[in-house]
Amino acid sequence: MAARRGGAMRPPTSSMRAALARSPAASFLLAAAAAAAVVGGLYFWVVVSSFRLPDSGAAGCRPDGEGSWSVGMFYGSSPLELRPIELEGRSNGNSSAWPVANPVLTCATPTEAGYPSNFVADPFLYVEGDTLFLFFETKTTTSMQGDIGVARSFDKGATWEFLGIALDEAWHLSYPFVFKYENEIYMMPEGNKKKELRLYRATKFPLEWTLEKVLVNKPLIDSSLVQFDGYWWLFASDFSRYGVEKNAELEIWYSNSPLGPWTEHKQNPIYKSDKSLGARNGGRLFVFEGSLYRPGQDCSGTYGRKVKLYRVEKLTKEEYKEVPVKLGIEEPKKGRNAWNGMRYHHMDAQQLASGGWIAVMDGDRVPSGESTRRSLFGYIGFLLAIALVVFVGFVKGAISCYIPPSFWVFQTRRTELSRILPVHRFNQKVRRYSTNISRYFSASKTRLNEKTWSNMLFFWVVALIGIVNVCIAVHFLFSGIGAEEAYTYKGQHSQFTMVTMTYEARLWNLKLFVEHYSRCESVREIVVVWNKGNPPSSDAFDSTVPVRIRVEEINSLNNRFRVDPLIKTRAVFELDDDIMMTCSDLEKGFRVWREHPERMVGFYPRMIDGNPLQYRNERYARGKRGYNLILTGAAFMDSEFAFKKYWSEEAREGRDYVHKNFNCEDLLMNFLYANASSSRTVEYVHPAWAIDTSKLSSVAISRNTQKHYDIRTNCLAKFSSIYGPLPQKWEFGMREDRWDK
C-alpha cells in the first residue's frame, strides 16, 4: 500500500476493490500465491506424507532438540561380539512380535505409564538373578529436564515394565551408574548443574534412594567406576571445559574404596583436544579375559555420534594407555529409518551367571539439535518464498511502496548552526543515496516489465526458486524428524520378511525394488523367488538387509507361497516387484497386521459380487463402499498359516488351476483364508501413494487389462465352486485412525 506525503490513506471503496480485482498484476500475484500453495500441498502429499508425524495431542514423544533416543538389547558369548535381539529369535505372542526387535524401550514406555517423556537414554543394567533392572535418563516433558527412570524385565530384556521415577532432583540428572558394594546398592548419576559428583544409596530398591555423600566437588559428567588391579578407578570428564576441549576431555581418579577419598591421576587430563578420540565415557567399563575395556563417545560432527571401544594396556597411578579395538556390533545401515541410524553413544555390557553376555545400548535416528535446525530451515524457506512473491508483486505493480527520502534522515531544525554540524551533512548524503536507489529500482522495474524472452526467463527462474523454497519449508516444518519410522504394538517392535517373485527380464526393476525397500526399518530380509532365467548374485543389489535368491525348478505362480523354512519371521509381506510405495505405508500395514495376525492385510481392495461372480477394479469397490478381498500383490500374512494352507492337500485342485492359467494365485489364497475361518479374514490399509511400474513394462502379465479380468472372473467361478463363497462386504473407514479410508 502507498502512503504519500500530503494526504492520508483512505480505506478502499467498492470501486477500488473492483479495480484491484481486475488488475492483471494483482491477479498475477494471487496466482503466484495459489501456485505456491498447490506446489506445497503436492510436495506434502508425495514426499512429506510418507514420514511419520508426531501426534499433536500426545503428552510425550515430542520433537526435542536433544534427540529422540531409545534403548536396544544385545546378546553374545563375548562383549566383543554382540547381536541385536531380533537375531536371537526372542518372541512375544501377546504383542504379535515374532521376533521382538529393537528398540525395546522408547519414550512411549514411561509416557504410557503416566510419566510423559521425550526420550530415554544412558541405560545401565542391574542384574539380580533372572531379573533385569534398567536405569536410564528420561527427558520429562513437564520440567524439560532429565530424571532417572527404572524398568524391570523377567525375560532377559524382551519385554519391560516401567516401574517409575527412581530419582528426581531440582536439576538435570542422567547417566545413572548403578553398582553394588558391600551388600549396598549405589547410584552415581550425572548432575553437573550442582558442580559436584554425588553418590546415592538405595533405601528401598529400586525406587527409593538417599544421598550418601559427595564424591568430588567438581562438575564431572558421564562418570564410571571400575575395580581393577586392587584399586577403584573413576573415569569422568570435566564439563566446565569449553572450546575444543568440550566433550574431548577425560580424567582419571583412584581410591581404595568407591566411597573415596579420591586422588587425581598424575596424567590428568588424559585427553583434552580431539572429540573423535572417544574421551568422554560411553558407558560402563568391563573386564573380559583379564583385560579392561572402556567405551567412549566419538563426538566428532555431532554429540554422541557413536561408541568407540578401547582396551586399557596400562593403568597405574602414574601412567595410562589404551588402544582402540573393534566394538563388535554391526553398524546401522538404514540411516534415519533405523532407531540408532544416526547416533549411538552409550553401552553397558555385563556377564550373566550363565556365562553369556548381555548389553544395552541407546540410539538416535537424528543428530543433535535436529528439531531446532529443521525449524530454522523451514522458516527461512517460507520467508524467502514470501520475499520472492513480494518482489514479483512489486515489479508487476500489484504492490506499491513509496518511502520518502526524509524517512531515513534525522529530523533537525534548519539553522545556520545545523549546516556546519555532521548531522546535516549526513542527512544530505542519505537523501542523495535514497533518491539514487529509488531511481535505480524504478528503472529496473520498467525494464523487467518489458515483454522480452530474457525477462520471461528471469521470472521463470524466480518462480522455480520460490517453488524450491516452498518445498524446503514444507519438508522441514511438516515432516516430523524426516524418518519413516516403525510403529510399536503393545510397546514392542518387530520385523517382517519381504517376498517378491520375478525373473531375468525384470532385473532392472528388481534392483530398484531392493534398494528402496531394504531401507524400511522393519524389513529383516528380502527373499526373491526366481522363476525363470539365470539368477543374479545377491551381491548385485544395493541392500541394507540380506537378499536371498530362491531359484525355482519350474516357472509357476504357486512358487510365491511356497513353504520356506529359512524365513525367520512369522510376518511375510508379499509384494509384486513392480509396485513402489513408501516405507511408512509398509510400517502402517505391518502395525495393522500385528493387531490381527490371523488376517491378510493389504493395500489393494476388491469387491467380488454378482451372479455369476465378476472380477472388477478398486473403483468398483469404492462405489460399493466396501471390499471382501485383498490382492496379495501387496499384502501381509502369517507365513506359518498361509503357506502351509496354500500347499495343503485341500488346495491342490486350486493350485493346479493357477499353474495352468498362470494367474489367480492371490484369489486362491483369499478363498483359502475365507474357507478356514468364520470371522473376518481381510483388512485394507490405504497407501499415501503407490506406483505400478508394470504399466511402463512390456513384460507384465496383466498388461492386457480386459483379458486379465476375464481370466480372473473364470477363476472366481472355479474357486467358489470348490471352496465356497467369499465373506460379505467390509466397509472402508472403520478404523479409528482412518488408515483404511
Catalytic residues, by residue number, are 666
Give 38's Cβ-side CA count (13 Å radius). Answer: 6
Strands (E), 217-326: 220-228, 231-238, 251-255, 263-264, 286-288, 291-298, 306-315, 320-325
Q: Is 261 left (phi over 0), alpha (psi -120 to 50) or beta?
A: beta
In angstroms, the CA 351 to CA 372 distance is 40
Measured N-to-C along each axis, helices 422-448 and 453-478 cross at an angle, to the nearest 10 degrees, of 110
How far is it, in rounded angstroms, from Cα 268 to Cα 272? Answer: 9
What is the dihedral sign for C-alpha 672, 527, 518, 74? positive
The single residue listed with the C-alpha cell 558442580 is 195
Beta bridge partners of 237: 221
Cα(105)–Cα(728) distance, integer angstroms: 41
Give the Cα separation of 283 and 327 in Å (integer).
Answer: 13
Cell numbers of 21, please? 480485482
Do 115 and 138 touch, CB atoms closer than 8 A?
A: yes
Alpha-carbon distance of 306 to 329, in angstroms, equals: 11
Helix, coil or strand: residue 381 = helix
CA Rg value for the chain: 33
Nearest residue to 54 (alpha-carbon basis) of 413, 380, 374, 316: 374
Place of cell 562383549: 79
Which residues are within 8 A (CB) of 135 and not within 5 positions of it... i.e. 6 or more apart? Answer: 123, 124, 125, 126, 148, 149, 150, 166, 176, 178, 187, 206
The C-alpha cell that represents 559 in the structure block:
512358487
User: Alpha-carbon distance 479 to 486, whole Å?
Assistant: 15
On whether the CB atoms of residues 603 and 632 are closer than 8 A, the answer is no
- Residue 732: C-alpha distances to residues 149, 246, 590, 701, 740 (Å): 42, 56, 18, 29, 6
Could you tell me where the DSSP H helices lie in 397-452?
Answer: 416-420, 422-448
